[in-house]
Amino acid sequence: MSRSNEPTTPTGTESTFREYILGVRITERTSPDGDDVYRFEAPQHREIEFTDPDLAELYVDVYFDVNGFEEAGTGERGVPPAIIQAGRDTLVAYLLTQPHTDVYWLASFYGEKPEKIRRYVSRVRKRAARIREGAQQRGIE
């Protein structure tokens, strides 16, 4: 997995990969080396790029799970306070979107089995989906 906090200059065509409520979306484009790149975009949030669309979508789920957050000012390896306060499952999901982190590393770090890490992530995804569905039912776009 690759994640970059510095968006690169787009080449070729950029398109919307997924669109969410409140101006949140993931765009897709091809990098100069021919790889697909997925960029997370949200109002008042710096753009972040991923090479794995699943991790970009997980980042969106974490974003909705904590009602938005901003990484600016947290440093290279810092975690936004909103994520820390949200609980272990949200923190695990956020850490999974970070460079050089995978389910097995997190399982080792927390002293858990990989299945438990996957359950944490699943909870975050389900909560985020319910949040988005509830907002749409209230007419929030």
What is the rounded CA–CA span in Å between residue 135 and residue 141?
8
Task: Please give the DSSP secondary-structure letter assigned to residue 98.
Answer: S
pTM comes to 0.86
Fill in the amino acid letter for 102.
D
State the chain's mean pLDDT as an integer. Answer: 89
With CA atoms as reference, report the closest residue to 2 among 74, 70, 79, 100: 100
pLDDT at position 1 is: 44
- Cβ proximity of 2 and 51 under 8 Å: yes
Q: Measure the CA–CA gap between 17 and 25, rounded to whole angstroms.
A: 8
Arithmetic mean of pLDDT, 99-103: 93
**Over the stretch 3-20, which tens digit does the pLDDT of each residue have?**
554 445 555 689 999 999
The mean pLDDT of 72-77, rounded to a whole number, is 70
Q: What is the pLDDT of residue 71?
A: 80
Task: Report angle CA 25, 26, 31 to the nearest 5 degrees.
Answer: 150
Residue 52 has pLDDT above 60, yes or no: yes
Cβ atoms 61, 128 nearer than 8 A: yes
The total number of structural domains that make up the chain: 1
- Residue 35: which domain range? 3-137
Pick the more confident residue, 66 or 141.
Answer: 66
Find residue 93's DSSP bridge partners: none
